[in-house]
Amino acid sequence: AEPVKIRFILDWKAQGPGAWFYVARDKGYFAAEGLDVTIDQGDGSAAAVSHIMTGAYDAGFGDINAVIQNAAQRQGEQPLMVYMLYNRAPYALIVKADGPIKTLKDMEGHTLAAPAGSATERMFKPLALKNGVDAGKVKVLNAAPNLIEQLLVNGQADAIAQFAPTSYMNFLAMKKSPETDFRWFFYSENGLDLYSNGILVSQKLLKENPEAVRGLVKALNRAILEVAADPDEGIATLKKVEPLTNVDLEKQRLVYTVNQQLRTDEVARLGLGDLDDGRLQAAIKTVADAYALPRTPAMDEVFSRAFLPSKADRILPPAH
Amino acid sequence: MDQSVQSESKFAVEAGRSATSAEQPSKVIELEAVSVRFGQGRSGTTALGETTLDVRKGEFISFVGPSGCGKSTILRLVSGLVRPTNGVVVVGGREVGVKALRIGMAFQNASMMPWLTVERNVMLPLKIVPPFRADYRRKRKGEFRDRVRALLAQVGLSDFADHFPWQLSGGMLQRANLCRALVHDPQLLLLDEPFGALDQFTREELWGTLQALWLDKRPTVLLVTHDLREAAYLGSRICVMSARPGRIISDTPVPFAYPRTLETTYEPEFIALGKRMRELIVPVQTSGGSA
Amino acid sequence: MDQSVQSESKFAVEAGRSATSAEQPSKVIELEAVSVRFGQGRSGTTALGETTLDVRKGEFISFVGPSGCGKSTILRLVSGLVRPTNGVVVVGGREVGVKALRIGMAFQNASMMPWLTVERNVMLPLKIVPPFRADYRRKRKGEFRDRVRALLAQVGLSDFADHFPWQLSGGMLQRANLCRALVHDPQLLLLDEPFGALDQFTREELWGTLQALWLDKRPTVLLVTHDLREAAYLGSRICVMSARPGRIISDTPVPFAYPRTLETTYEPEFIALGKRMRELIVPVQTSGGSA
Amino acid sequence: MARITRVLSATAVILGFFGAWELLCRLLHVSDLVLPLPSQILVTLIERFPDLWPHLIQTIASTLAGFTFGVLAGVVIGVMVGSSRLAYDTLYPLLIGFSSVPKVAIIPIFVIWFGAGTIPAILTALSLSIFPVVVNVATGISTSEPELEDVLRALGASRRDILWNVALPRTLPYLFASLKVAITVAFIGSITSETIASNYGIGTVMMVASANFDVALLFAGLALISITGIALYGLFSFAEARFTGWATRKSAVA
Amino acid sequence: MARITRVLSATAVILGFFGAWELLCRLLHVSDLVLPLPSQILVTLIERFPDLWPHLIQTIASTLAGFTFGVLAGVVIGVMVGSSRLAYDTLYPLLIGFSSVPKVAIIPIFVIWFGAGTIPAILTALSLSIFPVVVNVATGISTSEPELEDVLRALGASRRDILWNVALPRTLPYLFASLKVAITVAFIGSITSETIASNYGIGTVMMVASANFDVALLFAGLALISITGIALYGLFSFAEARFTGWATRKSAVA
Ligand SMILES: Nc1ncnc2c1ncn2[C@@H]1O[C@H](COP(=O)(O)OP(=O)(O)OP(=O)(O)O)[C@@H](O)[C@H]1O
Ligand SMILES: Nc1ncnc2c1ncn2[C@@H]1O[C@H](COP(=O)(O)OP(=O)(O)OP(=O)(O)O)[C@@H](O)[C@H]1O
Ligand SMILES: [Mg+2]
Ligand SMILES: [Mg+2]
């Protein structure tokens, strides 16, 4: 039969942690499921959600918290997450180690730089709420994602809110030591236990072709596990897709992501792709409260485990 | 129309009737109490005072008069480039605007398109005016080209057909300009000082050329000149204009038979005519100031 | 230099010596075996054949000759606008380029700046030429303005000082052009058909104006004209040029005393001179083709 | 009379455009995430205008600052390039090289050097407005009519005299044509810079709106930017008509 | 001979510029994160050229596609705007409004409508190149010399005849002046669009390089963009010189 065409949008550029998407494509995993997937690089994990909502894309890789917000505001239009990948949200607030900010409370009266509308920026409000920080007293400086670390290093911002793997690698590229030069406040360690990016599908695809959704998830699951087991192969594929790829850097980024975002106790318990209902419920409430959403969406408006392969097929290989 | 005939100066009527046009009674041009003002209110200029004029088919009218009196304006009126502020202009039986006649016009300054060679400049009317325009694409490299070359040769510009206008001297441009006015066999020819920048000898030679052409095809011609000898040599009628705002103060037939030669200009009668014209203008000059 | 004197045609030497310049022996202009070609190779045009000419201070030289023979080119050489392909041009004792003299030039086409009013156009030399330029800012609304207005009045353009060039007729532009050439009391005056677009009467009047001015300030004048009567009426010498590539084929002093009047032009001697000049040119015409 | 019909017919056509947009969107049930209705945009614009206004002022100020310096620099460079061979051969390639670099790639460098905020916005406006001015001024100067220059050269005028009295006046229509473009691109430049790193200005508003997919606000911002752009452009068109009337003269009667 | 010294002196000045940059950076110990050395950029450029090349080709293709349609549309609109009152009153404001919107704000909308990739790049190039063409063509048409038009009008030429035989040829210098600008902004437009949403093209490279903090690659990309920009500009300058020589004619001797 004619392969099903799926337009797939990434959360960001073709970097290490996106290698599995290209592996699934280039090794024919999609084709094996009767899918013809085109992959476009994206401009933010929240934006990916919107891109699917406008109908430009059928599926993508994006942020569940943005799905929650949209589910509350535009009920029935939001994409559904069918595979949770970043089990631990990579959100981090980073300050200079020798700077004035020792605790989150010290943020008041200081400048926070973040990409506009990024998940880290959006989730700063809940973070502040949880930690008794008056978010109104923090000055936000919006800038392009690639400038954020510069603003911190140059002293134009006192703190930045970024995806941890991104900043980590960028500090390395800037010949700084991520561990000793900076102080990291992971949202997950400061009372904000959130999920983040996973595979999203549009309501339309869900309705018209649930089998394709199942195939998509299956193919990606296979590729993700494979790349997690053998990062070098994943990066090699990436290098073929984008010859300009900096192999060392992207491999580090990939490994960092796998170890920090994927490898959690919960994943060991439930397998990759699934999530804990209680935790999701709490996350939904956190987001709804922080944004004073008109309603609190139900869990099944946001996530569905109906398309996941069996747990045995979703076991993350051990770290090496 | 009746109005216009009535309002014609007696002199003009007399002159018109008695001239060469007697055998061709159809009116080609009628200006009825026409005047032209440029600009509005007090800052405006009256370029042409109230003027009435009838031209019959095949006439050759010379206009003379002081600088700035509106000679060019009359040609621009007839060609439809300027609309009258008052009065009516009828050309070829229709109000100006619709072109009932094939008009050829040589402007006072040569106005060549700087991006075209002389040949292409001269060929321009063939590109625009029916019936030639229909054949332009087909013939521009053949028949039309030869036609243009022949004309250019007649005025001594054979070697300059492929030059650009800025490579030519002032007089050469004038000659090219004349060719452009003639190339499409116009039925009505409007010439604004076409021999202005030429030396006397080239000039006299071109008089001959123009006269021969006129006798051959008999277009109606309006010629503006500041040379009385030229006006009388070529024209079947001479209109003398007063200083600005100009009016036609005399409209005189030229009684010499065509073809005229340079000898004609030395005949006593010819000299007497020149003297008469001159006397008509000189008081005008002194009363109207130097302009 | 010696070379040049040797190579001068005997005729020119004679003419130069015997003319009005006898009492003013200093040479203002020396063209030594000058020729000008435009363009390179076979496609080029020889605008001026080998020409040698001496002009003494205060002379008034008229150039006549067929269209395209290089008259404008001579003026452009002297003013430094064109450099000679061969030969040397010395003006005011220096090679052209450095301006040793105050030069006034009227171009064949009026070349008015379209963004300036007539008054400002005429005032332009005062803005550029020392010693006036030093005072320009201070006097442009006072003394200079009056000076320009007076000149404009002399040529009958008083009412048009504040008009823009495109609002003027061809002849009016020519008169403004003449004013611009005169406004800064030039020591060397180069006039390229300055009366070209004018009617005969305005023209004759301006002859008088120009002559009076010349007699008063005694600038050296080079005048290009295609009117033999004009050339003889105004010039202290007449240079006749052959057809392209032009050379000076005759350099004749005009023996009439200044100030000349229109009556002078009817004197038999004057008419005889015109006839002689004419005969000089007519064979040239026929041999050199119509150009 | 003619003026009134002109204004009326123009208004009618423009209103027709927006009417068609509104109608099509409603008929085809276009999602407001894809294309909001003009009426919706208008409502958003009016409701949020008090919030948008100070941002706009900030952007206009940066634009004008950058534009002013850009035009000054552009005229100077344009004159040099249009009149000197060496300047043409050296400055021009450098300038074109610089201009063909997209500002989204340059602005981050400005930000790194000068910090986020107003200075990069001004610099971007400046660097964008230089180019059209240089090109037009240089074109105007190098295509000047030789006859007019000759008038001055015959008087022994210096190159500077010719520049001031012929080349520059003749270049005015070109310069003014370029000013209209320059103000537009300067405005774009400062907004673009603001969208990359700033916490104030209409560009910041756009960035936030687009990141949040607040499409109605995005389009309201676009509308505001467009209107301001038209106003700025109109201003310089007016100046052009005022100062270079001689180039567009038409016979009063014909 | 004169040509050779020209080329040499221009080369000298340009090399001097880069030499000064290199020297200053070395003397002041500027971090290569802030401003890399020209030598370093050159090495990166040469080493990675085989990888950059296909990206560049992609970008140039998008640029030319957008430019071609943009110029066609620009000429048509420019002629309309320059010759019709109503078009001037209606199209112009709409166009200016559209043009004064920064493309960084429009591109996301293109992406919403057409997805990421080539189409937004082409559309951005197109929409950017229209404006300079319209402005210049309209200026050229509306400032045409009445005397030359009169020559045709006296022959009874139609408005179309005048357009083709006077207004358009006279507008060529303006048009070509605008083409140089248009190709440059089209190139910028497609790169900008690629930096916002695309999988391929030099803009994507810039984005990836800057996201990875690969400053040397970033500047190598900038250099490549500049060189290409100069080449495209040079191409259209050559075309301009070739086709509108009559406007820049200089006396061969003087
Ligand atoms: N810039 C130029 N480039 C090429 N040829 C030129 C240029 N200027 C003049 N010529 C040529 O030089 C010759 C002499 O020109 P010039 O203008 O001196 O003639 P002229 O005697 O003034 O003629 P006229 O009486 O018609 O004005 C002409 O054949 C003309 O074609
Ligand atoms: N477009 C215009 N705007 C304003 N005034 C004009 C315009 N065209 C001509 N004039 C004025 O109209 C009058 C007559 O001009 P016209 O050109 O008809 O004179 P002319 O008789 O041809 O003079 P000449 O012999 O000097 O060429 C002049 O006073 C002139 O200033
Ligand atoms: Mg006239
Ligand atoms: Mg001449």
CA distance D162 to chain B (A): 21
The yes-or-no verdict on residue C43 having pLDDT over 60 is yes
* Residue at D104 is within a domain: yes
* Residue at E8 is within a domain: no
Find out whether the beta carbon of B197 lies less than 6 Å from any atom of ligand 1.
yes
What is the token pair recorded at C227? 């009117």
Of D4, D12, D126, the C-alpha closest to D73 is D126
φ/ψ of C197, rounded to 5, equals: -90, 15
- Which among A224-233, D1-10, E133-142 has the top mean pLDDT? A224-233
User: Which residue's CA is the closest to the ligand 1 atom numbered 18?
Assistant: C70
Q: A and C: touch, per 3+ CB pairs < 8 A?
A: no
The yes-or-no verdict on residue B15 having pLDDT over 60 is no
Of D178, D148, D180, D182, the C-alpha closest to D163 is D148
The yes-or-no verdict on residue B167 having pLDDT over 80 is yes
| Average pLDDT estimate for D76-89 | 84
Q: What amino acid is encoded at E81 in this protein?
A: V
pLDDT tens, residue by residue, B218-272: 899 999 998 888 899 999 999 998 887 888 888 889 888 888 888 787 777 887 8
Give the model's confidence band at A197: pLDDT under 50 very low, under 70 low, under 90 confident, else very high: very high
Q: In three state form, how does the secondary structure of C108-135 look?
A: CCCCCCCCCCHHHHHHHHHHHCCCHHHH
Q: What is the CATH number of the domain that holds C125?
A: 3.40.50.300
Cα of C226 to ligand 4 centre, how many Å? 10
Q: Picking from A217-226, B1-10, D53-62, which range would have the lowest pLDDT averaged per residue?
A: B1-10
Of C81, C29, C78, the C-alpha closest to C53 is C29
The yes-or-no verdict on residue D223 having pLDDT over 70 is yes
Of B291, C161, E52, the C-alpha closest to A244 is E52
Q: Picking from A57-61, A216-220, B131-135, E130-134, which range would have the lowest pLDDT averaged per residue?
A: B131-135
Structural domain for B279, as ranges: 3-19+57-75+99-286
Give the model's confidence band at C282: pLDDT under 50 very low, under 70 low, under 90 confident, else very high: low
Find out whether the beta carbon of B244 lies less than 6 Å from any atom of ligand 2.
yes
CA distance E222 to D103: 11
* Residue at B88 is within a domain: no
A252–chain E Cβ distance below 8 A for any pair: no
State whether residue D85 is helix, strand or coil: helix
A117/D211 touch (CB, cutoff 8 Å), yes or no: yes
Q: Which residues of D touch A154 (CB under 8 A)?
A: 112, 115
What is the token pair recorded at E226? 């500049």
Sorted by sequence, the CB contacts under 8 Å of residue A290 that are 6+ apart come out as A123, A125, A126, A129
Find out whether the beta carbon of C208 lies less than 6 Å from any atom of ligand 1.
no
Please report the pLDDT score of residue C285 as a whole number: 44
CA distance E146 to chain C (A): 10
The yes-or-no verdict on residue C97 having pLDDT over 70 is no
Distance of CA B35 to CAs B84, D142, D253, Å?
6, 43, 12
The yes-or-no verdict on residue C284 having pLDDT over 60 is no
φ/ψ of A58, rounded to 5, equals: -95, -25
Cα torsion C4, C5, C11, C15: sign: positive
Please give the residue that has the higher pLDDT: either B203 or A204.
A204
Please report the pLDDT score of residue C47 as a whole number: 86
Cα of B234 to ligand 1 centre, how many Å? 29
The yes-or-no verdict on residue C64 having pLDDT over 80 is yes
* Residue at B279 is within a domain: yes
H or E element, residue A272: none
Give the model's confidence band at A261: pLDDT under 50 very low, under 70 low, under 90 confident, else very high: very high
Distance of CA E42 to CAs E187, E188, E214, Å?
22, 22, 14
Please report the pLDDT score of residue B122 as a whole number: 93
Mean pLDDT of chain B: 80
* Residue at E143 is within a domain: yes
Ligand 3 (ion): residues with CB under 5 Å are: B 72, 108; C 169-170
Please report the pLDDT score of residue D54 as a whole number: 93
Give the model's confidence band at B200: pLDDT under 50 very low, under 70 low, under 90 confident, else very high: confident
* Residue at B141 is within a domain: yes
- Give the number of C-E residue pairs with CB atoms closer than 8 Å: 15
The residues that bridge with D207 in the sheet, in sequence order, are none
Q: Picking from C7-11, C55-59, E13-17, E160-164, which range would have the lowest pLDDT averaged per residue?
A: C7-11
Q: Picking from A148-157, A289-298, E27-36, which range would have the lowest pLDDT averaged per residue?
A: E27-36
Q: Picking from A100-114, B88-102, B123-137, D213-227, which range would have the lowest pLDDT averaged per residue?
A: B88-102
| Average pLDDT estimate for A52-62 | 91
% of chain B surpassing 90 pLDDT: 14
* Residue at C205 is within a domain: yes
Of C228, C188, C181, C187, the C-alpha closest to C209 is C181
CA triplet D17, D20, D26: central angle to 5 degrees? Answer: 145
Sorted by sequence, the CB contacts under 8 Å of residue B93 that are 6+ apart come out as B27, B100
Q: In what order do the strands lie in the sheet with C27-38?
A: C45-56, C27-38, C86-91, C94-95
Give the residue, out of C118, C163, C166, C168, with the most ligand 2 atoms within 8 A of its beta carbon, to mutate for a pocket test. Answer: C168
Q: If you measure CA to CA, which chain B residue comes closest to C170?
A: B108
* Residue at C52 is within a domain: no
D168–chain C Cβ distance below 8 A for any pair: no
CA distance B48 to E154: 19
Q: In what order do the strands lie in the sheet with B45-56?
A: B45-56, B27-38, B86-91, B94-95
Please report the pLDDT score of residue B99 as a whole number: 67
Q: Which residues of C touch B109 (CB under 8 A)?
A: 109, 170
Cα torsion A26, A30, A33, A34: sign: negative
| Average pLDDT estimate for C184-212 | 85
Cα of B197 to ligand 4 centre, how many Å? 8
User: Which residue's CA is the closest to the ligand 2 atom numbered 17?
Assistant: C169
Q: What amino acid is encoded at B21 in this protein?
A: S
Q: Which chains are within 8 Å of A by 3+ CB pairs?
A: D, E
Q: If you measure CA to CA, which chain E residue comes closest to D106?
A: E222
pLDDT tens, residue by residue, B48-65: 888 899 999 889 999 988
Q: Which ligand is nearest to the CA of C246?
A: 1
| Average pLDDT estimate for D238-245 | 75
Rounded to whole angstroms, the maximal C-alpha distance in chain B is: 57
- Residue in E112, E132, E228 closest to D34 by CB: E112
Mean pLDDT of chain E: 83
Structural domain for D61, as ranges: 42-243
The residues that bridge with B189 in the sheet, in sequence order, are B104, B221
Give the residue, out of E249, E250, E251, with the most ligand 1 atoms within 8 A of its beta carbon, to mutate for a pocket test. Answer: E251
Sorted by sequence, the CB contacts under 8 Å of residue C133 that are 6+ apart come out as C126, C127
Please report the pLDDT score of residue D163 as a whole number: 82
* Residue at D5 is within a domain: no
* Residue at B91 is within a domain: no
pLDDT tens, residue by residue, C102-159: 889 998 887 888 888 899 999 999 888 888 888 888 888 888 899 999 999 988 888 8
CA distance D214 to chain B (A): 54
Cα of B111 to ligand 2 centre, how many Å? 16
Q: B and A: touch, per 3+ CB pairs < 8 A?
A: no
| Average pLDDT estimate for A187-192 | 90
Cα of B224 to ligand 3 centre, how many Å? 8
Structural domain count of chain D: 1
pLDDT tens, residue by residue, B16-37: 344 444 444 578 888 888 999 8
Mean pLDDT of chain A: 91
D184/E113 touch (CB, cutoff 8 Å), yes or no: no
Please give the residue that has the higher pLDDT: either A194 or B203.
A194
D251–chain B Cβ distance below 8 A for any pair: yes
- Residue in C155, C200, C289 closest to B227 by CB: C200
| Average pLDDT estimate for A81-86 | 96
If you count them, how many residues does chain C have? 291
Strands C103-106 and B60-64: unpaired
Q: If you measure CA to CA, which chain B residue comes closest to E153?
A: B81
If you count them, how many residues does chain D have? 254
* Residue at E68 is within a domain: yes
Q: Which ligand is nearest to the CA of B162?
A: 1
Structural domain count of chain B: 1
* Residue at B47 is within a domain: no
The yes-or-no verdict on residue B195 having pLDDT over 90 is no
Please give the residue that has the higher pLDDT: either B288 or D221.
D221
Contact C171, B256 (CB under 8 A): no
What is the token pair recorded at A301? 């408006």
Please report the pLDDT score of residue E2 as a whole number: 62
What is the token pair recorded at B120? 């292409």
Q: What is the CATH number of the domain that holds D133?
A: 1.10.3720.10
| Average pLDDT estimate for E6-24 | 85
% of chain B surpassing 70 pLDDT: 85
Contact A60, A79 (CB under 8 A): yes
* Residue at E12 is within a domain: no
Q: Which residues of E touch C36 (CB under 8 A)?
A: 253
CA distance E136 to chain C (A): 20
Q: Picking from A40-49, A119-128, B148-157, B262-271, which range would have the lowest pLDDT averaged per residue?
A: B262-271
Q: Which residues of C touch D249 (CB under 8 A)?
A: 164, 166
What is the token pair recorded at E214? 């690969």
Angle, to 10 degrees, between the axis of helix D118-142 and the axis of helix D168-196?
A: 160
For an interface test with D, which of E101, E145, E207, E235 has the most D Cβ atoms less than 10 Å from its Cβ? E101
- Which among A142-151, A218-227, C175-184, C200-209 has the top mean pLDDT? A218-227
For an interface test with C, which of D155, D170, D171 has the most C Cβ atoms less than 10 Å from its Cβ? D155
Please report the pLDDT score of residue E1 as a whole number: 47
Give the model's confidence band at D187: pLDDT under 50 very low, under 70 low, under 90 confident, else very high: very high
What is the 3-state composition of chain B as percent helix, strand, coil, each rounded to the nearest 5? 45, 20, 35
The yes-or-no verdict on residue A311 having pLDDT over 60 is yes
Please report the pLDDT score of residue E144 as a whole number: 65
CA distance D30 to chain A (A): 10
Q: Which residues of A touch D208 (CB under 8 A)?
A: 116-117, 142
Please report the pLDDT score of residue D250 as a whole number: 41
Q: Look up the ipTM and state it.
A: 0.73
Q: Is E155 left (phi over 0), alpha (psi -120 to 50) or beta?
A: alpha
Burial of D76 (0-12, 13-18, 19+ CB in 10 A): middle
Give the residue, out of B169, B195, B200, with the most ligand 1 atoms within 8 A of its beta carbon, to mutate for a pocket test. Answer: B169
Please give the DSSP secondary-structure letter assigned to residue A273. B
Which ligand 2 atom sits closest to the C-alpha of B39?
4
Please give the residue that has the higher pLDDT: either E55 or E1.
E55
Contact A1, A212 (CB under 8 A): no
Sorted by sequence, the CB contacts under 8 Å of residue E148 that are 6+ apart come out as B111, B113, E166, E170
* Residue at B42 is within a domain: no
Give the model's confidence band at E246: pLDDT under 50 very low, under 70 low, under 90 confident, else very high: low
Q: If you measure CA to CA, which chain E residue comes closest to B165?
A: E246
Window A:139-158, CB contacts with E under 8 Å: 145-146, 149
CA distance C207 to B164: 34
Q: Which ligand is nearest to the CA of B246?
A: 2
